[in-house]
């Protein structure tokens, strides 16, 4: 059986297949039909592997061949029917007409002979001879076309009777010329009349025979006409059935896989990537389209999985950035409060120094108050030193947090950039689907043109081409929807990248401000230590105030200037801390915005339904990362 199938596949001729069946196959009809079915199945495999152009051309060629067969059969049968009618008209009817002419000629001969006998006018004899000549030519023509023995016998008998009648007329003419009218009348009554009656009877018998032959031929022709009608009708029905079968086969071979591709594309457009691959056995353009669609779906599923993984990383990074930003804001608040306290202390110290100076100038008796003020100044200086040291530590911690935030934002920016690259790959894949749909649309247009050329026999294929075009349009629309979704995703990713860039810039600015704030704190710390030293000097000088009042006044003047300087530096540091706090708040807002964008991206990705195994694998990778 395998050998027989191979013979069918490699297009062996019918004689080879028949010989093989007669030698190797069971002679029972059922087994023969079963083997022939396998041959047709093998032929069907070859047809499935043909491209669409060959399928359509083969179908149109089959329809044209069936049309030619119908036309050839009709032409042959019509020619046979025409030959029958020509035989009927040219043979049977012509013979009947010749017989009628012979009968008419005999009657005319009798009339002219009688006219001469009655009148003696020789013109009747001339007419009589003319009728005899015409009778002779008609008889010769009749004998030439006779083929049946009975017709030949009757024609010979008619010719013999005519000759007897001519002899009788010749004898009567001689008696008429001799003036023997009695003999003429007796011969006319006894001989001529009986011969004329026999001639008419024989002619009528020959005519009846020919009419019977004509009726027989007419019946045969009617039977042939019915046979022609049945043959043409059967051929037309067979051609119609073959055309319907070819239309159904081609429609199923083209429309069904295209419909499967369109349905799968619609599900992908709805975000469902869980379907199994399309299985199309054809190796034509439809099979190539299904293969490309399967590869596109696998690539899109992998890309969605990677995007989902990167979106999760972006969300985690943005959340961590938000937490660090909140910590940085809190630290900045503490620094601002500390700097504000330093500023207030410096202002208070400057005010008291002015009061002390005024008191020293007004009265030397205020030495005790000056000593107390010096002691208070020393204590405030110690407190300011402690606050300055705490501020330096807070600044160092804030700088470290800012560096961590900057590294996290750089990682987030890199992940978002990778996400954008993968989104552009998705856009290229959807563009490839759109190009495939356009090619399918062009194929459907070519099929419509071929169907229009085929006329009525190509209407079925025109419907097929219209369905193919409709499905190709649906596939193109679905890919456009996927492309639109990817474009929106790319826009969201670009916004995230821009937000990350702004956050990075703000973070760099905050880092720079923090560095300047640290330098300012160093200056404040040095100044406060200097104030503490001066306060100790003031406390020591208070014991010797009676001797060195001038020196104390000068020292008070220096301390007042230094306090003014400390107050200015503290106000500057407070302004810097407020600016840093505002920058950190902006960083926190940017981190929150990035987190919201990441959540929005994950919500958009949640519209795509992936296979459970792929999703589990992606989640495990997420947990590992």
Reply yes or no on whether the pLDDT at 234 is more than 80: yes
Share of the chain above pLDDT 70, in %: 51
SS3 content of the chain, % helix, strand, coil (to 5): 95, 0, 5
Q: Band of the pLDDT at 167, cuts 50, 70, 90?
A: confident
pTM above 0.85, yes or no: no
d(CA 347, CA 355): 12
The pLDDT value given to residue 599: 72
| Residues 190, 185: Cα–Cα separation, whole Å | 9
What is the reported pLDDT for 29? 43
Helix axes 367-454, 459-543, angle to 10 degrees: 170
Phi, psi of 180 (to 5 degrees): -90, 85
SS3 481: helix
Mean pLDDT computed over 104-129: 73
- Predicted local distance difference test score (pLDDT) of residue 186: 74
Quote the crossing angle between the two packed helices 2-9 and 29-49, to the nearest 10°: 40
Is the pLDDT at 6 greater than 50? The verdict is no
- What pLDDT score was predicted for residue 352? 64
Using one digit for the tens of pLDDT, what is the confidence trace for 73-109?
777 767 776 666 566 555 556 666 677 777 766 767 7
Residue 266: which pLDDT band, with cuts at 50, 70 and 90?
confident
Measured at the CA of 623, the angle between CA 619 and CA 625, to 5 degrees, comes to 115
pLDDT of residue 610: 62
CA distance 325 to 161: 143
165, containing H or E segment: helix 149-178
Q: What does the pLDDT read at residue 45?
A: 43
Q: Within 10 A of 82 (CB to CB), how many other CB atoms are there?
A: 10
What average pLDDT score do residues 269-278 get? 71
Residue 357: pLDDT band with limits 50, 70, 90: low
Confidence of residue 203 (pLDDT cuts 50, 70, 90): confident
Give the start-end residues of each E strand in 409-559.
none
- Phi and psi angles of residue 535, each rounded to the nearest 5 degrees, phi first: -65, -40
Cα 540 to Cα 542: distance, rounded to the nearest angstrom: 5
Residue linked to tokens 């070819």: 246
Encode pLDDT of 412-467 as tens digits: 767 767 776 776 777 777 777 777 777 777 877 777 787 777 777 667 767 766 77
Residue 507: its pLDDT value, please? 66
> What is the per-residue pLDDT across 295-340, written as a single tens digit (0 to 9) for each?
877 787 777 777 777 777 777 777 776 676 677 667 667 666 765 6
pLDDT digits (tens, 9 = 90+) for 217-233: 777 777 777 887 788 78
pLDDT at residue number 441: 74
Average pLDDT, the chain: 69
Q: What is the dihedral of CA 455, 457, 459, 465, to 10 degrees?
A: -100
SS3 609: strand
What would the mean pLDDT of 123-145 be, rounded to a whole number?
Answer: 76
Q: What is the distance between the alpha carbons of residues 272 and 250, in angstroms, rounded to a whole number?
A: 31
| The pLDDT value given to residue 87 | 60
Question: What is the rounded average pLDDT of the residues 125-141?
Answer: 77
- Average pLDDT value for residue range 190-205: 75
pLDDT at 172 exceeding the cut of 50: yes
Q: Which residue has the higher pLDDT, 244 or 559?
A: 244
pLDDT higher than threshold 60 for residue 515: yes
Residues in the chain: 625
């Amino acid at each position: 059986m395998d050998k027989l199938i191979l013979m069918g596949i490699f297009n062996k001729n019918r004689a080879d297949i028949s010989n093989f069946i007669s030698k190797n196959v069971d002679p029972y009809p059922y087994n023969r039909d079963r083997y022939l079915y396998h041959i047709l199945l093998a032929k069907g495999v070859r047809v499935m592997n043909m491209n669409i152009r060959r399928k359509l051309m083969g179908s149109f060629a089959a329809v044209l061949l069936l049309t030619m067969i119908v036309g050839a059969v009709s032409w042959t049968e019509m020619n046979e029917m025409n030959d029958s009618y020509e035989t009927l008209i040219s043979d049977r009817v012509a013979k009947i007409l010749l017989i009628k002419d012979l009968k008419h000629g005999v009657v005319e001969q009798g009339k002219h002979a009688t006219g001469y006998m009655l009148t003696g006018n020789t013109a009747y004899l001339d007419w009589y001879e003319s009728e005899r000549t015409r009778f002779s030519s008609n008889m010769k023509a009749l004998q030439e076309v006779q083929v049946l023995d009975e017709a030949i016998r009757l024609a010979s008998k008619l010719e013999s009777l005519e000759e007897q009648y001519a002899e009788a007329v010749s004898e009567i003419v001689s008696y008429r010329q001799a003036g023997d009218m009695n003999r003429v009348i007796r011969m006319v009554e006894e001989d001529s009349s009986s011969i004329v009656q026999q001639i008419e009877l024989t002619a009528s018998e020959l005519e009846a025979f020919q009419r019977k032959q004509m009726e027989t031929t007419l019946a045969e022709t009617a039977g042939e006409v019915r046979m022609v009608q049945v043959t043409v009708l059967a051929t037309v029905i067979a051609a119609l059935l073959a055309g319907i079968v070819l239309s159904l086969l081609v429609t199923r071979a083209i429309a069904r896989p295209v419909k499967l591709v369109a349905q799968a594309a619609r599900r992908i457009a709805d975000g469902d990537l869980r379907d199994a691959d399309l299985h199309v056995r054809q190796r034509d353009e439809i099979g190539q389209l299904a293969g490309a669609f399967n590869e596109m779906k696998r690539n899109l599923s992998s890309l969605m999985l990677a995007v989902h993984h990167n979106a999760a990383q972006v969300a985690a990074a943005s959340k961590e950035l938000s937490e660090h930003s909140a910590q940085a804001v809190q630290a900045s608040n503490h620094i601002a409060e500390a700097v504000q306290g330093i500023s207030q202390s410096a202002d208070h110290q400057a005010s008291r120094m002015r009061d002390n100076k005024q008191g020293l100038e007004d009265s030397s008796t205020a030495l005790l108050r000056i000593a107390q003020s010096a002691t208070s100044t020393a204590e405030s200086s110690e407190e300011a030193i402690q606050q300055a040291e705490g501020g330096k530590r807070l600044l160092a911690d804030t700088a470290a947090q800012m560096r961590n935030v900057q590294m996290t934002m750089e990682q987030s920016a890199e992940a978002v950039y990778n996400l954008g690259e993968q989104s552009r790959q998705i856009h290229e894949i959807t563009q490839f689907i759109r190009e495939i749909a356009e090619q399918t649309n062009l194929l459907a247009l070519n099929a419509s043109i071929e169907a229009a050329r085929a006329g009525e026999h190509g209407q079925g294929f025109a419907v097929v081409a219209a369905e193919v075009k409709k499905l190709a349009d649906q596939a193109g629309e679905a890919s456009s929807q996927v492309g639109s979704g990817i474009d929106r995703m790319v826009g969201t990713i670009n916004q995230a990248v821009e937000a990350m860039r702004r956050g990075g810039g703000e973070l760099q600015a905050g880092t720079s401000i923090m560095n300047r704030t640290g330098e300012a704190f160093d200056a404040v710390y040095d100044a406060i230590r200097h104030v503490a030293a001066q306060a100790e000097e003031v406390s020591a000088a208070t014991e010797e105030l009676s001797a060195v009042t001038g020196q104390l006044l000068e020292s008070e003047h220096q301390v007042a200037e230094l306090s003014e300087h400390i107050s200015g530096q503290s106000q500057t540091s407070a302004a810097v801390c407020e600016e840093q706090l505002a920058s950190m708040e902006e960083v926190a807002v940017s981190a929150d915005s990035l987190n919201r964008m990441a959540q929005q991206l994950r919500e958009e990705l949640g519209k795509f339904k992936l296979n459970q195994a792929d999703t589990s694998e992606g989640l495990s990778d997420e947990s590992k990362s």
